[in-house]
Structure 1
Amino acid sequence: MDYKERKEFELKRAEEFIASINAMNDPDIMYKVSHPITDLKDMMNKSVERYGADHVAFKQRFAKNEPFREITYGQTLEDLNALGTALIEHGLKDKRVAVIGDNCYQWASSYLAVTCGLGVVVPLDKELGASELEQLIKEANCEGILFTKKFLSIFQDIKERGETDLRVLVNLNAEKEADGVLSWSQLIEDGKKLIADGDRRYLDAEMYPDEMGVLLFTSGTTGIAKGVMLSQTNICCDLMSAPTLLDTNERDTFFSVLPLHHTYECTCGFLMPMYKGSCIGYCEGLKYIQKNLQEIKPTFFLGVPLIFEMLYKAIWKNIRKQGKEETVKKVLKLNKVTSKVGINLNKLLLKDILKVFGGNMDMLIAGGAAIDPQILQFFRDLGIMALQGYGLTECAPMAALNQDLNPRNDSVGHVLPGVEVKIIDKNEDGIGEICLKGPNVMMGYYNMPEETAKVLVDGWFHTGDLGYVDGPYIYITGRKKNVIITKNGKNVFPEELEYYLGKVSLVSESMVWAAQDDSGQDDLIVATIKPDMEEVEAVIGKEAAADPEKVEKLMWQEVDKINKELPFFKKIRRINIRKEEFEKTTGKKIKRFVESNKQK
């Protein structure tokens, strides 16, 4: 078929995908308002048409003492078209182009410029070192890279060494070209001139959404990076499906704090708002979260459990400091009753607490790891909907999401409409490996056919996560590679015990693993614990907290409470108290198989 026929086929396929979801007899699929898109270029053009060129797309502070500036959908489309045109002029058509740096409009517009008619985008992890970045650029065959200014010397050195294909460097923060490094803002001006002179190479570029459009390198706890190949069809199916479970629209403002190179933030916190006509406000960094919440006043906040746990602890700490703990608990309890008849006492009586989120917050979504259901319930009791979802890079990344009117605190969510789920190799409790099948599942791992064959079997993606399903809802118990199998065949999920330890205020972080007992005949469960020393001092005093034996005794008291509720084979039999931070991935997950993480 010719290109026109291909685009007609792709549009019909998108329309049929939405129609199939709308036809589902599922009470949880409540928002049947998705519109068809075939690729990200189609998405951006339609968003400008649907929501208006003057509708605000981004809010960002471009300089330290400046107020937040607004960028419209129209300007975004104009900028990405100009940038894409200029990059074609520099020979990057149909090439691999990397993007790296802090969350900002320049990063977002660069990603869109590459994906909307230039080539394959390769988002890189800003926490990686120079040698790791060089290796990934070499593996991905990147010929161009757009970066924020702190990476300037790294990529100049990589280019000069000549051991990669890298030849075009673009500084996202520079005003003008210097020392052979191009300027993002100057490229946009150059591109506008080219378009004004009739250059339509980018504007008329043909899009092939079933081919690889994004190459993402995962940073697993094993330390082996895999390149996940995603098509734009994978991503667009997520964008069309997820909003049927959760209401978001052009009145929403998303708070962007998670790194954009992660698919969770990129798809859900960047591309989803673009699809739905929402606005994105960029946080200036973790230490500015509370300050920026006040300035941006968002309605949506996507985060990892660590962020929400931090806010939860900070809120309760402030409540206790003011001596209002009992009052707040009474109001929350009373509000559970009054809210059933439409009366929200929290907004009146707990407005100081709600101010922490800027005053307009409607939705908190946790992903990336398990979160304590009590924390979700606390935020819901405050009047802010809080729920969790389930994603994997290999699913672009959405696999499941809780419905926003009646979420299940202990479930990672309703399987994404249009996606199938099954559990294989079930044990006696019905727990087995979660497998997924759908149009969002990746094309495979880049240059790793054997690894791809291990996880993609007859169209089913074997996630490596263990769990069970209740109807369309998925429940996760742990990772297949982490499970501890005792000598008598019992399965122990480290994540379960870490969850119990995480509920203890005295515990900052923990990692559960198995070691042989003194006889060498069986495994025993060990927990390496990093105490929250501020909480420890509050309980036993500063002097006692400086004594390792007293700290360990205090920890054993808490572990004993947990052990009382556990069967013998799950009991924690040894603890290591750790002062140092655990070694983690750039995604802030503890590296389980690094030997030093097991030590005191």
Structure 2
Amino acid sequence: MKNRELYKVRPIKDLKDMLNSSAELYGDKAAFLSKPKNGAAYIPISYKQLKSDVDAMGTALIELGLKNRKIALIGENRYEWSISYLSVVNGTGVIVPLDKELPANEIELLLKRSQADAIIYSESVKDKIELLCEKSTSLQYFISMDREENKGNILSFHLLLQRGHELLKEGRREFIDAEIDATEMSMLLFTSGTTEAAKAVMLSHKNVAENLMGMCSMVHIDEKDIFLSVLPIHHTYECTCGFLCQLYRGSTVAYCEGLRHIVKNLKESKATMMLGVPLIFESMYRQIMNQAIKSKGEKKIKFAIKLTNALGKIGIDIRKKIFKQIHEALGGHIRLFISGAAGIDPQIAKGFRELGISLLQGYGLTECSPIVALNRDIYYKDEAAGLPMPNLQVEIDSPDEDGIGEIKCKGSSVMLGYYENPEATAEVLKDGWFYTGDSGFIDEDGFIHITGRKKNVIITGNGKNVFPEEIETLLNRSPYIKESLVYGKGQSDGDTVICAKIVPDIDKIKEDKENNLISDEPIEKLIEKEVKNINKTLINYKHIKEITIQEEEFIKTTTKKIKRHEELKQ
């Protein structure tokens, strides 16, 4: 790795070993900053308290008869979710995290498919979950994070936790002494997709522990860091990289109250790091730059960036001083943003770095626990997905003349397979290699570059491959385009036309028209001009020939990825 040494990490066998050793190492330090009620101040919860609560909850779940059973978990990012996750995987059974945004019928279907025996849920999904109480499902227990009392088979999480603490005082040790088989399935995670198509990924402690050690050896994270947890925690990206990783490294996790509260929570928690997806960082960057230009003027901002870049080349870093207002607007402590779930425009990463905030991107899949590649804080390429994890072999399958082919990987963080789906498992796991379904290439420095999803590629009449993601990145750079979706449309002559669905940024267009920065012409004309300019930068066969403009934003997953196939069905 270009003689750049990896950071030292402590070896862990499994997540139980991780939690026990972290509680010993970091004891009274805050593991979490939690808000009991919206708007109240953050309250710290120590590592010691966390371990004690996990042991108590695990002991209580075993007393209920849930040893070696599957337990579903659904709710927002909060302390009770974290205790539940760890108390199930560290000695009780198999955890099945579910997406709280799913409709009730889809939740019911996933509970059936996973054969869950109990569910732990929060008030925000009470109506969807308690509907199932009246139905004859396999669920024995409904455990509510917010109820004060037990009622039939609906149990209060807090009373259960209390019971667990009493059992521990009586000397019950079934949970504490439970042995972990690090190679067995302990997590069952549904990939985002329709419920029928969603695959249930089987992961083990070893998969996740290896991923944690690999990731932390590439990017420096320590006990001085405070993470703002923003993305949905049922998703393996946030769960491994924004929850388990922090507990492993002795950091503190502050729970965000919702996307609207990111800036407020960054300030209150004094967060130093945050995981996000391109859509979050792109809109943050646009807002920051628009405000900075409004208050200082575009020329001054451009000059400040040029000046700090020039000084940076001779080892003088004054970015935090020059862009003090921007840093303060983000809470004043942010040092690192990490982007995942989809490729980010390299200009956004470069833009944040010019302001004195590092933004690194990584690449992963649920099936890989999740990280496959990561840019390092000391060695990165903004246009690349990153360098392969130290415990993974990554290769390109059947590369074409440009070196582009399907990315495949092999190693200790690759899943055990898809639950009760040997056919789907055999399709992606061959001779120990996991075939990702993503196309890309590896450059001479070993960085992985993603060109797009294999199934999204548009093949033109003359056999050329066009990756829609590349054109979408260019379209989304226009200040007047909020979102875009590029696809191919077959013609009767056998050719394929490149088309784009575009959501304009109405507010920005309105503002620039009012300030006489653009002419008062119809939105369609303005967007057509933007597309024409982008076409000039593209080779002929990639030119966008048809555009459709729509006001409503595209349908997205909870990690803010556009549901391409649902959009194109309409």
Q: TM class by shorter-chain length?
A: over 0.9
Question: Is 2:3 the partner of 1:27?
Answer: yes
CA contact (8 A) 1:411 1:475 kept: yes
Structure-2 separation of matches of 1:28 and 1:121: 37
Deviation of 1:222 after TM superposition, in Å, equals: 9.9
Instruction: Provide the residue aligned with 1:110 in structure 2.
Output: 84
The whole-number CA distance in structure 1 between the counterparts of 2:448 and 2:348 is 19
Give the equivalent residue in structure 2 for 1:43: 18
One-letter identity of the residue aligned with 1:583: I
Offset at residue 65 of structure 1 (A): 4.1
The answer to whether residue 165 in structure 2 is matched with residue 189 in structure 1 is no
Letter in 1 for 2:284: L
Correspondence list, 1:232-311, <5 A: 232-311=205-284
Tell me, yes or no, if the aligned pair for 1:84 and 1:191 is still in contact at 8 Å: yes
Work out which of the residue numbers 118, 141, 149 in structure 2 matches 1:176.
149
Contact preservation (8 Å) 2:556, 2:563: yes
User: CA contact under 8 A between 1:331 and 1:345: conserved in structure 2?
Assistant: no
TM-score by length of 1: 0.92
Is 1:97 aligned to residue 75 of structure 2? no
- CA distance in 1 between counterparts of 2:429 and 2:266 reads 41
Q: How far apart are 1:484 and its partner, in Å?
A: 0.7
CA distance in 2, matches of 1:40, 1:415: 23
Q: Does the alignment pair 1:211 with 2:187?
A: no
Q: 2:98 aligns with which of 111, 119, 124?
A: 124
Distance 2:485 2:99 in 1: 24
Cα drift, residue 543 of structure 1: 13
Contact 2:232 / 2:558 at 8 angstroms: preserved in 1?
no
Letter in 2 for 1:578: Q
- C-alpha spacing 1:221/1:565, structure 2 compared with 1 (3 Å): farther
Q: Distance in 2 between matches of 1:47 and 1:432?
A: 41
Correspondence for 1:143 = 117
User: Could you tell me which residue of structure 2 aligns to residue 57 of structure 1?
Assistant: 31
Q: How does 1:548-563 map to 2 (within 5 A)?
A: 550-563=522-535
Residue correspondence of structure 1 range 458-537 to structure 2 within 5 A = 458-470=431-443, 471-517=445-491, 519-537=492-510
One-letter amino acid matched to 2:245: M
Judging changes above 3 Å, is the alpha-carbon distance between structure 1 residues 552 and 545 closer, same or farther for their aligned structure 2 residues? Answer: farther
Give the structure 1 partner of residue 380 of structure 2: 407
Task: Measure, in 2, the Cα distance between the counterparts of 1:385 and 1:150.
Answer: 35
Figure out how many residues of one structure are paired with residues of the other and give that number.
569
Deviations 1:474-513 (A, max 9, x none): 0000110000111211111111111110111111111111
Q: SS of 1:338's equivalent?
A: helix
Question: What corresponds to 1:22 in structure 2?
Answer: none
CA contact (8 A) 1:367 1:391 kept: yes
Contact persistence 1:533–1:545 (CA under 8 A): no
1:265 alignment partner, SS class: helix
Residue matched to 1:77:
51
1:431 alignment counterpart: 404
Shift of 1:36: 1.2
Flag structure 1 segments of 5+ consecutive residues without an equivalent.
1-24
> After superposition, what is the alpha-carbon deviation per residue over 1:102-152, rounded to whole angstroms, capped at 9, x for unaligned?
100110111001011000000000110000000000000101111111222
The residue type paired with residue 433 of structure 1 is E
CA RMSD for the aligned pairs? 2.0
Q: Which amino acid aligns with 2:4?
A: D
Give, in whole Å, the separation in 1 of the partners of 2:135 and 2:518. 52
User: CA-to-partner distance for each residue in 1:518-553, whole Å, 9 max, x for gaps?
Assistant: x44311110011111112223445999999x82221
Distance in structure 2 (CA, Å) of the matches to 1:379 and 1:154: 40
Q: Secondary structure in 1 aligned to 2:132?
A: helix
1:570 counterpart residue number: 542
Structure 2 residues without counterparts, runs of 5 or longer: none
Instruction: Determine the C-alpha separation between the residues in 2 that align with 1:568 and 1:468.
Output: 23
Partner-residue secondary structure (3-state), 2:381:
coil
Q: Do the aligned residues in 2 keep the contact of 1:545 with 1:551 (CA within 8 Å)?
A: no
State the identity %.
Answer: 47
Indicate conservation of the 8 Å contact 2:103/2:128, yes or no: no
Cα-to-partner distance string for 1:51-76 (whole Å, 9 max, x where unaligned) = 2x101100011113421100000000
Contact 1:400 1:412 in 2 (8 A): yes
Contact 1:390/1:412 (CA < 8 Å) preserved in 2?
yes
Aligned counterparts of 1:199 and 1:257: Cα–Cα separation in 2: 36
Q: What is the letter of the counterpart of residue 319 of structure 1?
A: A
1:284–1:292 CA contact under 8 A, matched in 2: yes
